[in-house]
Amino acid sequence: MDNAETHHSAPARMAVVTGGNRGIGYAVAARLLQGGCDVVLVARDRQRGEAARVSLAGSGGTRVRLVVGDLSSVRRARAVAEALSETCPRIDVLVHNAGLWPSRRVLDEDGLEQAFVTNHLAPFLLNHELEPLLTASGARVVQVSAGLYVKGQADPERTPTGLDFHPMRTYADTKLCNLLLVPRYAERWKDAGVTINAVHPGVIRTGLGDRGGPLGYLLKAVKLLWKSPDVGARPVARLALDAEVAGLTGRYFHIEAEQPPAPVAADAALADRLWTQALELTGLERTPPPVRRDVT
């Protein structure tokens, strides 16, 4: 018998990136691969998602998987969660990058405005449905936010169905809804070793918010002056991987600088109301986050 010691390398960290087939999501996936992670891309278009998977796997030399799914309705978001649970033996990093900046009010099959679902309810649902995998690994959850949240007005009576829809402000409204719940998740997970932080990656040249017509051409011209997706990916990957931010949770970052949330995102009563509403709209059990009693 060979008595030589056999060394088994630790399994690679597994990272999930929603909206990972283009823009910041693709650039984040590339950086996570470079950081030693296996990556699962979530993309709603199979052909584009597969093209991104092949491109990343070829350049990174690490296994990349694809989950095809749409996050613009509760039913479809739940299907994505189920597919991720089947695909991922573990989740060490979850990056909520998928986002929607709509030019017109579109309601989903439940009568909910699609940006409200994509930007707010879908991350909420994924966090809950994937919680066993997140807590088992002590995962890092990173929410790609937007500095425009400061212009948002979250109205639980009107925003979910787009009664207050505006082609510019609805994006800010729904991003604000999402950001308001980050501290609630930090509280829920702080005894489980899971961290969650939000980051505005900067003004980045992506397809988000593209429009047709003269306004669309003008916007594309302006975007030529904006920074590349790779630049936007850096602060996201930092929160996902860097040791210097390990253990930080419930924080908001403007690029790499931590900032206190603006007063509009620090309304605890509104956050509680949005949390309860999100549980109802997603059909999740209404359970409060765990309460931590510090040992003195």
Q: Is 149 a catalytic residue?
A: no
Q: Which residues contact 70 (CB under 8 A, 6 or more apart)?
A: 44, 76, 77, 80
- CA dihedral for 12, 255, 164, 154, sign (positive or negative): positive
pLDDT for position 62: 55
pLDDT for position 294: 37
C-alpha to C-alpha distance for 18 and 40, rounded to whole angstroms: 8
pTM exceeding 0.95: no
C-alpha to C-alpha distance for 53 and 34, rounded to whole angstroms: 14
C-alpha to C-alpha distance for 79 and 243, rounded to whole angstroms: 33
pLDDT for position 287: 62
pLDDT for position 13: 94
Q: Where are the domains of the chain?
A: 14-282
Instruction: Specify the pairing of strand 93-96 against strand 14-18.
Output: parallel
Helix or strand holding residue 170 (H, E):
helix 169-180
pLDDT for position 103: 85
26, 149, 171, 252: the active-site residue: 171
Q: Report residues of the chain scoring pLDDT below 50.
A: 1-7, 205, 209-211, 215-226, 289-296
DSSP structure string for 128-168: HHTHHHHHHHT-EEEEE--GGGGG----TTTGGGTTT--TT
**Tokens encoding 12:** 């690679």
Are the C-beta atoms of residues 145 and 97 closer than 8 Å to each other?
no
3 state SS of 199: strand
pLDDT for position 206: 53
3 state SS of 231: helix
3 state SS of 52: helix
pLDDT for position 18: 97
What fold, for 14-282?
A: Rossmann fold (3.40.50)
